[in-house]
């Protein structure tokens, strides 16, 4: 089976590499010729081009561009394709993508593989990136179940754990566990550097250890990705941020008024509950 | 040289193990006989006891108990000791420990090695835990520089990068990069589980990936440690929490009013600045 992948960055490139290693004929499309050449040289794909018409021979196409380009890319490619081609995406937001994409292309299936590293671009491509990562498929009521199964099977083959839900539940869930963490983590870094006392900031930089490193990781990641999360999942992210902030006020109040039993209860609960997320 | 270590948990036990491996004669003290036996069996220490009088033969003593027990422990051991013994601690807060400890024992040197894992107790002990970890020494004006040098040298030998500052600057810096992260991370877990829609919570648990894992790590850690941070570094932590919360309001406002250029600027800055903390 010939599979098309548009966008050969961390996600698209790593998916291409795994599928090539599984024996698929993978055709990559990138805006940059240099990326196409690199993808061929490193055996990430079998063929690559900067032109969309090369995708006409594929059966399933993965749009692996940044979220903001998914719908534009879809509009541009469909004129090159026979109508039975399945098109899917890897966008981290689904509600603002899937209904519109499905209107443009009936054989569209929304998906979101939740894998990544701090790096980006084709240089960051790695084999087995998706092993044990969750991948959410978000069909609409009128999405063909046969198409859903084909997309699920491909993600299953590269090692993902497959889940299925609506775009809305997906977006609310990822606002909590993916987009909110980016904002609170970025706010941590920003608050630490904006502090008025330079002696404190300098010592903080020297002393920052694994705790700061982990808590600040996603907030120090790709700015374009964080911005897209906020733009494309605005309402759900705002709900989460506001609830988060209200809860933070309660913690501040407990510390201020020395209600240590409340804080202890909270920290005991978070200690017990965290493993349920891992 | 004989070194005493009180408290054979993650920090005390790992320090004991490294010092034993370096050829020191390490004498451990634990409240629990079982821990003493385990420490001897695993060659973490040369001798161990549940009684403080065994420490009379040592030259330097590390108090590696939880913060809340440091001063009580100090008070209890000093009657067993000749006055030239150097006593030091590993507490993650210094302002509420060092001045009082120094009044009780002139040869006290405050220190804070910043290493750790998610685990605790003697089972969590590991060799080379302190390799490349920062260790802050926080002498007062009247602290003997000779004693400071001896404590520095020992931490240097187990691989720490040594820093020196006042207890106050230390506490302000760690509020930012260690204690604040625990609270915002715990608040993340708590906010995610308290959400009213169980379908969203269940999907969030399934989808939580490396981003949530890292951002929630310190908030899901040892509750006793988090509580102690708030109790013993209350004022500095509150200052950081309030500044953090004000900054979070700005982010919420930027998203709400779609000031995307502000958010992009912030995320670009945090992306650029984070490496300065690592």
- Statement to judge: residues B35 and B10 lie in one domain: yes
Closest-CA residue of A relative to B132 is A209
Angle at alpha carbon of residue B23, lines to B17 and B25, rounded to 5°: 75
| H-state helical runs in chain B | 10-21, 33-41, 70-77, 98-104, 145-157, 167-174, 180-194, 198-207, 210-216, 223-232, 234-256, 260-273
Q: What is the tens place of the pLDDT at every residue in A81-130?
A: 999 999 999 998 999 999 999 999 999 999 999 887 767 899 999 999 99
Burial of B128 (0-12, 13-18, 19+ CB in 10 A): middle
CA distance A147 to chain B (A): 22
- Statement to judge: residues B242 and B255 lie in one domain: yes
Is B118's pLDDT higher than 80? no
**Residues 136-155 in B contacting A (C-alpha not used; CB under 8 Å):** 136
To the nearest whole percent, how much of chain A has pLDDT over 90?
91
Contact criterion met (CB below 8 Å) for B242 and B251: no
Task: Spell out the residues 6+ positions from residue B97 whose beta carbon is closer than 8 angstroms to its own.
Answer: B67, B70, B71, B89, B91, B110, B167, B232
Return the H-helix or E-strand segment holding A86.
strand A86-89
Instruction: Give the domain range for residue A21.
Output: 2-165
Contact criterion met (CB below 8 Å) for A178 and B209: yes
Q: Would you state the pLDDT for residue A268? A: 98
Q: Would you state the pLDDT for residue B242? A: 97
The mean pLDDT of A64-72, rounded to a whole number, is: 94
- Statement to judge: residues A69 and A159 lie in one domain: yes
**Residues 173-202 in B contacting A (C-alpha not used; CB under 8 Å):** 173-174, 176-178, 180-195, 197, 199-200
Three-state DSSP state, A137: strand
Which of B128, B150, B165 finishes a domain? B165
Tally of CB atoms within 10 A around A115: 23
pLDDT band at B251 (very low <50, low <70, confident <90, very high): very high
Task: Spell out the residues 6+ positions from residue B164 whose beta carbon is closer than 8 angstroms to its own.
Answer: B136, B137, B138, B139, B148, B152
- Statement to judge: residues A24 and A86 lie in one domain: yes
- Statement to judge: residues B8 and B129 lie in one domain: yes
CB A190 to CB B278 under 8 A?
no
Q: Which of B177, B204, B252 sits opposite A208 (nearest CB)?
A: B177
CA distance A70 to chain B (A): 19
Q: Is residue B244 within 8 angstroms of chain A, CB to CB? A: yes
Q: Would you state the pLDDT for residue B19? A: 98
CB B230 to CB A255 under 8 A?
yes
CB A277 to CB B215 under 8 A?
no
- CATH code at position A135: 3.40.50.720
Q: Would you state the pLDDT for residue B264? A: 98
Closest by CA position to B89, among listed B171, B21, B27, B151: B151
Q: Is residue B221 within 8 angstroms of chain A, CB to CB? A: yes
Q: Is residue B163 within 8 angstroms of chain A, CB to CB? A: yes
C-alpha B259/C-alpha B251 separation (Å) is 9
C-alpha A248/C-alpha A252 separation (Å) is 6
Strand order in the sheet with B161-164: B111-113, B134-137, B161-164
Is B87's pLDDT higher than 90? yes
pLDDT band at B209 (very low <50, low <70, confident <90, very high): confident
- Statement to judge: residues A133 and A177 lie in one domain: no
CA distance B7 to chain A (A): 22
- Statement to judge: residues B82 and B133 lie in one domain: yes
- Statement to judge: residues A42 and A108 lie in one domain: yes
CA distance B264 to chain A (A): 6
Please provide the DSSP assignment of B15-27 as one string.
HHHHHHHTT-EEE
Is B191's pLDDT higher than 80? yes
- Statement to judge: residues A176 and A128 lie in one domain: no
To the nearest whole percent, how much of chain B has pLDDT over 70?
100
Q: What is the ipTM of this complex?
A: 0.86
CB B215 to CB A210 under 8 A?
no
- Statement to judge: residues A111 and A186 lie in one domain: no
CB B208 to CB A133 under 8 A?
no
The mean pLDDT of B184-192, rounded to a whole number, is: 97
Q: What is the tens place of the pLDDT at every residue in B32-49?
A: 999 999 999 999 999 999
Three-state DSSP state, B165: coil
CB B187 to CB A248 under 8 A?
yes
Q: Would you state the pLDDT for residue B116? A: 76
pLDDT band at A264 (very low <50, low <70, confident <90, very high): very high
CA distance A81 to chain B (A): 33
CA A254, distance to chain mean position in Å, is: 35
The mean pLDDT of B140-153, rounded to a whole number, is: 97
- Domains in chain B: how many in total? 2
Range name among A176-180, B29-33, B221-225 with the lowest pLDDT average: B221-225
Range name among A4-8, B16-20, B63-67 with the lowest pLDDT average: B63-67
Q: Is residue B169 within 8 angstroms of chain A, CB to CB? A: yes
Which of B105, B133, B165 finishes a domain? B165
- CATH code at position A228: 1.10.3660.10
- Statement to judge: residues A104 and A236 lie in one domain: no
Is B172's pLDDT higher than 90? yes
Q: Would you state the pLDDT for residue A225? A: 87
Is A232's pLDDT higher than 90? yes
- Statement to judge: residues A76 and A135 lie in one domain: yes
Mean confidence (pLDDT) of chain A: 95
Which of A105, A132, A165 finishes a domain? A165
Q: Would you state the pLDDT for residue A210? A: 85
Tokens of B239: 């200052």
Three-state DSSP state, B153: helix
Mean confidence (pLDDT) of chain B: 95
Q: Would you state the pLDDT for residue A120? A: 83
Tally of CB atoms within 10 A around A256: 13
């Amino acid at each position: 089976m010939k599979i098309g992948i548009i966008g050969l960055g961390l996600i698209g490139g790593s998916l291409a590499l795994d599928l090539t290693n599984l024996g698929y004929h993978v055709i990559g499309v990138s805006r940059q010729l240099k990326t196409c050449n690199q993808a061929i040289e490193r055996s990430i794909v079998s063929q690559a081009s900067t032109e969309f018409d090369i995708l006409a021979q594929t059966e399933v196409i993965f749009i692996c561009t940044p979220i903001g380009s998914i719908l534009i890319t879809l509009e541009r490619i469909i004129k090159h394709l026979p109508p039975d081609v399945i098109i899917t995406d890897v966008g981290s937001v689904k509600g603002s993508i899937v209904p519109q994409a499905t209107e443009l292309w009936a054989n569209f299936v929304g998906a979101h593989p939740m894998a990544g590293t701090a790096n980006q671009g084709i240089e960051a491509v790695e084999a087995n990136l998706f092993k044990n990562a969750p991948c959410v498929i978000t069909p609409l009521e009128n999405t063909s179940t046969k198409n859903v199964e084909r997309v699920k099977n491909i993600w299953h083959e590269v090692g993902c754990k497959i889940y299925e839900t609506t775009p809305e539940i997906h977006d609310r869930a990822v606002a909590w566990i993916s987009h909110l963490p980016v904002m609170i983590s970025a706010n941590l870094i920003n608050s630490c550097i904006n502090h008025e006392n330079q002696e404190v900031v300098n010592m903080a930089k020297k002393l920052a250890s694994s705790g700061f490193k982990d808590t600040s990781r996603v907030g120090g990641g790709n700015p374009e990705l964080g911005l897209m999360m906020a733009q494309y999942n605005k309402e759900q992210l705002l709900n989460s941020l506001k609830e988060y902030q209200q809860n933070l006020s309660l913690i501040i109040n407990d510390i201020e008024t020395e209600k240590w039993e409340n804080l202890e209860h909270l920290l005991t609960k978070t200690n017990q509950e965290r493993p349920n997320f891992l």
